[in-house]
Structure 1
Amino acid sequence: MFRPENAQSLVGLALILLVCWVLSEDRSKFPWKLAVGAIALQAVLVLALFGVPALRAGLAGVGAAVDGLASSTQAGVSFVFGFLAGTPDQPYAVEHPAGLFVFAFRVLPVILVVCALAALLWHWKILKWITQGFGFIFEKTMGLRGAPALATAATVFMGQIEGPIFIRSYLSSLSRSELFLLIAVGMSCVSGSTMVAYATILKGVLPNAAAHVLTASIISAPAGVLLARILVPRNPRMEDGKELDPTANKVYESSIDALIKGTTDGLQIALNVGATLIVFVAMVAMVNGILGMFPQVAGAPLSVERILGVIFAPLAWSIGVPWHDAPTAGSLLGVKLVLTEFTAFIKLGAIPVGELSDRTRVIMTYALCGFANIASVGMNVAGYSVLVPERRGEVIGMVWKAMFAGFLATCVTAAVVGAMPSALFGQ
């Protein structure tokens, strides 16, 4: 049943499109057909995945697979670190079982295993077929050329820098609009390795967390394409029709080679995630210490989280969050933008059941599921400087706008989900 809160989400969707149109480099080229098609595609995917019994059962299977992957990972972690990994069998009395969940031992190792598994599935051509299938869909439904379409699909599963690697030889010949699109889509999605990590974090507070996280990353890609095309419209004269050989790049010598290289790549990602979290959380703690010296406001000390909550509360409300949850949801949006989505998901997972409505928790899962944050700006500049050094200056000039597009793309996805009947998600 359509309720007032569903219309509330539509207001947010319209406002986001309006803001992007106002900031467009050419407001006369608003892609009306793409806007209707992208939003309709998102809605159809959500309705199909959660409304069709067979597909819903498949998503439930994803949750079971994530649980199995997490438990298998813990077996490896326990073998290396013993009781430090947080196993139930501890050599001392445990007064606070929740303290056994240590991020470094429960989440980061999942990234290692998923990266290794992804490399193996790519070598076996399973992931390659899936990626090419999604690339074909993006090409035919959203008007993308073959190379950007494949890179967009790869980004959904592999990550914001790993995706463009598949078309590295074509990056120099992409139009400015296409290059901007790749960066924006990269920031609007997450990688397969982090999907599993987020689902692990939210497992205790969000039913069917894995299904929501997987759906969020997939359906945010069309939103990223749409907002990128609005902000930097395509120029057909700059697109010469070159296509991509889908067999290029990402070649492993054997299954063992794939596992080893995938593990090495996963280690680099895990170290980057861990180091980034340490530094950014430390910076926020320092800023909060400084803010704590000022007089209290509304009976509580100032903090980065409170300030961000006030700034982003209207945006959170506009995408469908009830007003009583808006300050908390706004704070999560701000934390995602300033700190990283990992930190935001950790904070979302730490909010006890009952302190946040089920509707808010689902909407925020979709709104947070993207790489659009300040840290990703540096990652994209560094990554594209290696992939296509001759366009480094161009990347620097558009990367902040791409972060803006990626941030709002996940909000578009959240608004589309908020416009759906709550019963679809078992609420």
Structure 2
Amino acid sequence: MFSLLNLQSLFGLIVIVAAAWGLSENKRAFPWRLALGAVGVQAALVLALFAIPGSQVVLAGITGAVDGLTVAASKGAQFVFGYLAGGQQPYVVGNEGALFTFAFNVLPMILVISALSALLWHWKILKWITHGFGFIFQKTMGLGGASALAVAANIFLGMIESPIVIRAYLDKLTRSEIFLMMVVGLATVAGSTMVAYATILSAVLPNAAGHVLVASIVSAPAGVLLARIMIPEKPGEGGAVADYGSALKYDSGVDAIVKGTADGLMVVMNISAVLIVFVALVALVNIMIGWIPVFGEPLTLERLLGWIFWPVAWLTGVEASEAGRAGWLLGVKLTLTEFVAFIELGKVPAAEMSERTRMLMTYALCGFANIGSVGITVTGLSVLMPERREEVLGMIWKALFAGFCATLMTAAVVGAMPASIFA
């Protein structure tokens, strides 16, 4: 049964696409067929995992796999960190909730998933899944082989690892294809962080693992659409053909585990450093502006972000009464990374936020589109294709806008669907 909130999400979907068109380099080249196809692919993917009979079994399997990975990762963390990671406590604990430590309970999961992903890639399991999605994107959205493979790789790998998969074709990509690769990289998340997000939300959102997985998959077509709207492909260009070979290779299973762990360690160190610095900067800003009273309370960056992003959150289909808090989460994602935003979303008690808003925010937050990722993208692509660094720098802020809007578009598509699908 459709409601006004569903219509609100549909309106938001139109506004998001219109905003991208407003920044288009060629407004006459609006891809109508791609727009309909991308939204159709998004809706079909959501329905496939939530509405088709038997899909709940799949979701239960995903949740069970995440739970199993969480237990396994905690065993490894407890072996190294002992009671700090949730092992046997040497003293009586008065506050069980205070035992949860982000560094010891969440970050080790990224190491385990990174190593496992590398092993599955070496065994060709993840590679063939990626190729399957690449084939689908190539046939349904008219992407060139190399672009389609990069888009598919972004669903499971990071925004820098996925270009490595098509490294042999980077010099053949057009400006539009490079922009598309950047946007999709910012609109999705890596498999290693998906599980961490699901772990953070598992206590407050039913089927959290399924929602996070679907969010990253479904945001890929949204990123493709918005990228094609903002920087359309010129007639006669593009379509670099890939033979689906890959530059991402490992010598053996052990080599995959070792290198995957090393890559995961870099991710963990980057996340830890960024969280420390950005949270400290927010605290510093709050100290500087806290003397300013607004409506009887001290002004904080969180309140400012809530006001600025209130209409943005509302456009996804969030109720007006909750749009302020949801808007704050979107602002946190953009400035402090999606990791902080997911942590804050997980802290909101179930009674203080509706399940619909929490679900929509899960989709809206599930992407690497934040200010910190701008530097990571520029640095990574500059190493992979130094001759096109200026081109990347000229498009990076547009890519950030498109990547941020892609997850909002995904949330709007989900919000436009009847609530009974997710029951």
- Category of TM-score, reference length = shorter chain: over 0.9
Cross-structure match for 1:362:
359
Q: Quote the Cα distance in structure 1 between the aligned partners of 2:399 and 2:126.
A: 27
Contact 2:168 2:247 in 1 (8 A): no
Secondary structure of 1:354 counterpart:
helix
Cross-structure match for 1:352:
349
Cross-structure match for 1:52:
52
Cross-structure match for 2:104:
105
Contact 1:17 1:227 in 2 (8 A): yes
Whether 1:28 and 2:25 are equivalent positions in the alignment is no
Cross-structure match for 1:128:
127
Q: Identity over aligned residues, as a percent?
A: 61
Secondary structure of 2:214 counterpart:
helix
Secondary structure of 2:352 counterpart:
coil
The amino acid of 2:262's aligned partner reads T
Q: Per-residue deviation at 1:53?
A: 2.5
Whether 1:406 and 2:403 are equivalent positions in the alignment is yes
Contact 1:175 1:235 in 2 (8 A): no
Deviation track 1:46-73 (CA, whole Å, cap 9, x = no partner) reads 1121011223311210011000000000
Q: Quote the Cα distance in structure 1 between the aligned partners of 2:251 and 2:193.
A: 26
Alpha-carbon RMSD: 0.9
- Unpaired runs of at least 5, structure 2: none
The amino acid of 1:132's aligned partner reads H
Cross-structure match for 2:225:
226
The amino acid of 1:172's aligned partner reads D
Cross-structure match for 1:137:
136
Cross-structure match for 2:417:
420
Q: Per-residue deviation at 1:248?
A: 2.6
The amino acid of 2:90's aligned partner reads P
Secondary structure of 1:237 counterpart:
coil
Q: Per-residue deviation at 1:425?
A: 1.3
Cross-structure match for 1:37:
37
Q: 1:343 aligns with which of 340, 344, 353?
A: 340
Secondary structure of 2:267 counterpart:
helix
Cross-structure match for 1:291:
289
Q: Per-residue deviation at 1:243?
A: 1.7
Q: Per-residue deviation at 1:252?
A: 1.1
Contact 2:146 2:169 in 1 (8 A): yes
Q: Per-residue deviation at 1:145?
A: 0.3
- Unpaired runs of at least 5, structure 1: none
Equivalent residue runs for 1:140-219 within 5 Å: 140-219=139-218
Q: Quote the Cα distance in structure 1 between the aligned partners of 2:196 and 2:166.
A: 27
Q: Per-residue deviation at 1:158?
A: 0.4
Q: Quote the Cα distance in structure 1 between the aligned partners of 2:143 and 2:216.
A: 19
Q: Quote the Cα distance in structure 2 between the aligned partners of 1:67 and 1:297.
A: 44
Contact 2:173 2:240 in 1 (8 A): no
Q: TM-score, normalised by structure 1?
A: 0.98
Change (3 A) 1:173 1:247: closer
Q: 1:268 aligns with which of 266, 269, 282?
A: 266
Cross-structure match for 1:236:
235
Cross-structure match for 1:19:
19
Q: Quote the Cα distance in structure 2 between the aligned partners of 1:123 and 1:169.
A: 19
Q: Quote the Cα distance in structure 2 between the aligned partners of 1:338 and 1:10.
A: 27
Secondary structure of 1:29 counterpart:
coil
Q: Quote the Cα distance in structure 2 between the aligned partners of 1:123 and 1:19.
A: 41
Cross-structure match for 1:76:
76
Contact 1:122 1:128 in 2 (8 A): yes
The amino acid of 2:61's aligned partner reads G
Q: Quote the Cα distance in structure 2 between the aligned partners of 1:129 and 1:56.
A: 24
Secondary structure of 2:309 counterpart:
helix
Q: 1:371 aligns with which of 368, 373, 386?
A: 368
Contact 2:59 2:210 in 1 (8 A): yes
Q: Per-residue deviation at 1:406?
A: 0.4
The amino acid of 1:410's aligned partner reads T
Q: Per-residue deviation at 1:135?
A: 0.3
Cross-structure match for 1:328:
325
Q: TM-score, normalised by structure 2?
A: 0.99
Q: Quote the Cα distance in structure 1 between the aligned partners of 2:40 and 2:279.
A: 38
Contact 2:147 2:240 in 1 (8 A): no
Whether 1:282 and 2:266 are equivalent positions in the alignment is no
The amino acid of 2:313's aligned partner reads A
Secondary structure of 1:19 counterpart:
helix
Q: Quote the Cα distance in structure 2 between the aligned partners of 1:43 and 1:195.
A: 21
Q: Quote the Cα distance in structure 2 between the aligned partners of 1:218 and 1:22.
A: 26
Change (3 A) 1:242 1:12: closer
Deviation track 1:99-141 (CA, whole Å, cap 9, x = no partner) reads 1110001111111000100011011110010000000000000
Q: Quote the Cα distance in structure 2 between the aligned partners of 1:99 and 1:171.
A: 48
With 143-152 and 163-172 compared, the bigger mean Cα shift is at 163-172
Contact 1:138 1:149 in 2 (8 A): yes
Secondary structure of 2:242 counterpart:
coil
Q: Quote the Cα distance in structure 2 between the aligned partners of 1:54 and 1:391.
A: 47
Contact 1:25 1:233 in 2 (8 A): yes
Contact 1:321 1:363 in 2 (8 A): yes
Q: Per-residue deviation at 1:170?
A: 1.2
The amino acid of 1:18's aligned partner reads A
Secondary structure of 2:2 counterpart:
coil
Secondary structure of 2:225 counterpart:
helix
